[in-house]
């Protein structure tokens, strides 16, 4: 399992509440590892029970229940252990490829509208990633090792979106 490790990583980057983590999982880390807030709260409870993290009422809690989670040494050690072991490559699970194959098997279903929708969506994401890249990584100042790694991860997202746009465009040409 690596949701717990994704949460650990995110918490090392910045101690936070479950709610803040959930929002961060809708951005940055969530671009390649999605999670709902329920999953995150579940993991936080488990990791606290395991002694990987600790929590206390958040500094800015006021009268709310807001808690802040911090990573303990045991958590850091576990993350380092996990990150150093080999992992299987991600497996693709692309519903749309199944649909294309269904189209091929059944005869014409006309998936062109869907292709157009997907192209628009990937273009939008690409534009968003490029904005982040401009702002965070292409400002000319030298980048830390950490920033260079983050840049490479973002570039992977950019390459992925570009690939999707190109391939979907070619597919559209074929079906058109």
Question: Where on the chain is the footprint of DNA (CB under 7 A)?
Answer: 1, 3, 17-20, 22, 34-39, 41-42, 44-45, 58, 60, 62-67, 93
At closest approach, how far in Å is the CB of 18 from DNA?
Answer: 4
Interaction of residue 165 with its own copies, rule CB under 8 A: no
Interaction of residue 153 with its own copies, rule CB under 8 A: yes
State the binding partner of 36 from DNA, its own copies, none, CB within 5 to 8 A by kind: DNA
Say if residues 69 and 53 touch (Cβ distance below 8 Å): yes
Say if residues 40 and 22 touch (Cβ distance below 8 Å): yes
Nearest residue to 172 via CA among 99, 125, 113, 106: 113
Tally the C-alpha atoms within 13 A of residue 51's C-alpha that lie toward its C-beta.
Answer: 3
| Residue 51 DSSP symbol | T
d(CA 60, CA 79): 28
State the binding partner of 84 from its own copies, DNA, none, CB within 5 to 8 A by kind: its own copies
**Residues in 43-102 at the binding interface with its own copies, rule: CB under 8 A:** 76, 79-80, 82-84, 86-102
d(CA 82, CA 121): 34
Tokens read off for 40: 């995150």
Site residues (vs its own copies, CB under 8 A): 2, 5-6, 8-9, 12-13, 29, 31-34, 76, 79-80, 82-84, 86-106, 109-111, 114, 117-118, 121-122, 145-146, 148-150, 152-153, 155-156, 159-160, 163-164, 166-167, 170-171, 174
């Amino acid at each position: 399992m690596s949701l717990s490790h994704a949460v650990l990583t995110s918490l090392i980057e910045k101690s936070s509440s479950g709610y803040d983590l959930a929002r961060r999982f809708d951005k940055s880390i969530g671009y390649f590892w999605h999670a709902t807030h329920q999953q995150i709260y579940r993991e936080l409870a488990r990791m606290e029970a395991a002694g990987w993290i600790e929590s206390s009422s958040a500094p800015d809690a006021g009268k709310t229940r807001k808690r802040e989670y911090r990573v303990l040494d045991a958590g850091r050690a576990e993350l380092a252990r996990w990150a150093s072991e080999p992992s299987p490559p991600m497996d693709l699970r692309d519903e749309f490829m199944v649909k294309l194959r269904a189209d091929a098997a059944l005869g014409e279903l006309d998936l062109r509208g869907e292709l157009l929708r997907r192209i628009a969506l990937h273009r939008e994401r690409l534009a968003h990633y490029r904005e982040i890249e401009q702002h965070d990584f292409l400002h000319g100042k030298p980048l830390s090792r950490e920033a260079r790694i983050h840049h490479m991860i973002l570039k992977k997202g950019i390459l992925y979106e570009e690939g999707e746009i190109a391939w979907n465009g070619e597919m559209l040409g074929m079906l058109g």
